[in-house]
Structure 1
Amino acid sequence: MFNVETIRQDFPILSRKVNGKPLVYFDNAATSQTPKQVIKAIVDYYSNYNANIHRGVHTLSQEATDLYEQARQKIQSHFNAKFSHEIIFTSGTTHGINLVANGFSSLLKKADEIIVSALEHHSNIVPWQMLCERTGATLKVIPMNEDGELIMTDYDKLLSKHTKLVFVNHVSNALGTVNPIEYIIEKAHQFGAAVLIDGAQSSPHIKPDVQKLDVDFYVASAHKMCGPTGVGMLYGKEEWLKKLPPYQGGGEMIAEVTFEKTSYADLPHKFEAGTPNIAGGITFGAALDYMNAIGFENIATYEHELLSYATEQLSAIKGLKIYGTSAQKTSVISFNLKGIHPYDVGTILDKLGIAVRTGHHCAQPIMDFYKIPGTVRASLAFYNTKAEIDALVEGVKKAKMMLS
């Protein structure tokens, strides 16, 4: 059964102190913490298997290759991709998005249109703006409402025969809103458009089934899912990955090279130039093993309980406003105290050992919509507790008293 105190013992960092206070870590949407099982996998790799992969006939290389490809299969199974070669290792979500955007540079023309949403992280805005500059295509935006939800009737109106691509996050990093991606994907496909879903914020909370979703591309980062930084994955349907040209040139992604011509390797290696983050890929698989052993249904149930409790307790503070009140959201609470800059609140909370994120969260258009400079964001994970939420609430009250 789910026992948060037992789970917390897996995370060494949760026992440390910050500014003389017990650490309360509420910046999970930026980077989750790493359990000792994943740390052990990192140490095990460098202690016993450290070698380059796919190229060596010696034992270490073959063993490292097997571990790396087993991790790819774990990712395939977790996201329910049809083939393991539809899983491309990347340095993270941003890398995956840029890989796809670069590939479509050769497929779009001036009359084409692409659609993003008003809830996007900058990494799912800027690459498409750059793509439009290169191709002459037009970027259109699905608007949002005051609750932090996308306006689907406006999305329907944006779709047309000119729509070639739709890019939407599964969950907003700034507000926690869970977007109706099933509807978005189905409607886009009716117009023959491809869909990329940014799963950076959903993957720690939701176990997506890419075949059931019928999504064309899905991206995620290991460091949001109890894994290491610097590694992530791009899922792409086989037919789309075959259409896209390589993103980078170098070793591993080639079949044959002469000074006259180069032929490219088959999937997935066509998109994996150079020596990859081998330890990162292997321990990404270990992180998925860890989270699946706890169970994503258990994680979702517990985090919803935390979110409800935190929302109720914070809402009771006079002058506190929560941004993002969708009925469908993950465990993220963005808020401000009236008349107080979020940075100042975050600074006082840090002095109390409470880690939150302040600013625009790489989602400046959302802040512009609300006409605010940013928010204080408390993002909760399955290893957090109600006692920690109580500490946050008391910290916010203290900040209000000191700064008002």
Structure 2
Amino acid sequence: MREKSIAVIIVAAGKGERVNADGTGEPKQYRTLAGLPVLTRTVRAFLYHPAQMQVVVAIHADHADRYAALNLSHPRLLSPVIGAETRQASVLEGLKALAPSRPDLVLIQDAARPFANPQIISAVLDALADNDGAIPALPVTDTIKRVRDGNQIATTEDRTQLAAAQTPQGFRFGQIFSAHMRASTIPRQFTDDAEIAEWAGLRVALVPGDRDNIKITHPDDFARAERIIHGDTALETRIGTGFDVHQFEPGDAVWLCGVRIPHHAKLKGHSDADVALHALTDAILGAIGEGDIGVHFPPSDMRWKGAASVVFLKHAGDLVAKAGGRIINLDVTMICEAPKIVPHVPAMRDVIAQTLGIAVSRIAIKATTNEQLGFIGREEGMVAMASASIEMPRVD
């Protein structure tokens, strides 16, 4: 029996107006949470799951630049689709985008829920073996009052029959696509996809949710989300260092920290020879105990001939995120007589920040000469040194 194909729709087309009540102006799905944008965390939760899933993100029409700035890249991450005015309509756009590939199963996830853990995702998928749909849910522990006029209690609900729904919500693709298409033809807005499935007569099962699988809705939810990431985990700070040297050869520009700088020579190397990013990548890999750049991208592999070194840096950053860590700060020092580095520092910091999904304020870039001494002083080559401070879950 062939393995069922799985797709994921991440609904990120909202404006995040309730969170924006704190004056940031940034939609919640693009705001940084412990060093990574919320949407990046949500997308990675599914791309890193053992099940091989295709992922499509439904974004707001005005957010294309914001989404592009996340620098999300993966063979199973499809091009984003433009969502609609309502969550329900945005999901339908995602379903239409997936229709040509006709996956067997589809998971529908709120972008503002960045803590969908592998256990929840697997439980939803497993439940679809015997049900048309499945959602994670939590039992309601508070006493629930029905209030009709906003002031007086009308009745008390039986909380034993109530559950608080979460995402991802999973369905058999053909059934939920058909249900969504029919729902779009009536003047009713459904609160989630499970309600559409119920309305269409599908059997939807519950699987255990997780109290940390919160939906970020209000400004103070970010503080709670930070506590979820760091509060219950014993963390330690690790330091990694990197060093690299490349010689000059005839050319017209050098690549340094992902920025092309015109020069009377270029740096010699198998990739783009970005000596600074090579040192920085090694520093990050060293901090998390993952060897060095040559282990992950051996120069004997022709795939990396002429490759942009931001690819190597992003890989190191992804390993940090996958291990549950976060980058605290990065420090790069370049040593050369020429070219002049200082004019390009802001662009270099921007490249690193966007590649790793961290704030520019966490990155320092410095440069100095070698006072015309040695091979550096003779402009035969240049050196870069880097350090990385990374917070990681403690391993005893």
Structure with the greater alpha carbon radius of gyration: 2
Identify which of structures 1 and 2 has the higher relative contact order when contacts are C-alpha pairs closer than 8 Å and 6+ apart.
1
Q: Which has the higher helix share?
A: 1
Flag whether TM exceeds 0.5 (same fold).
Answer: no
Give the TM-score, by structure 2 length.
Answer: 0.25
Give the TM-score, by structure 1 length.
Answer: 0.25
Q: Which has the higher strand share?
A: 2
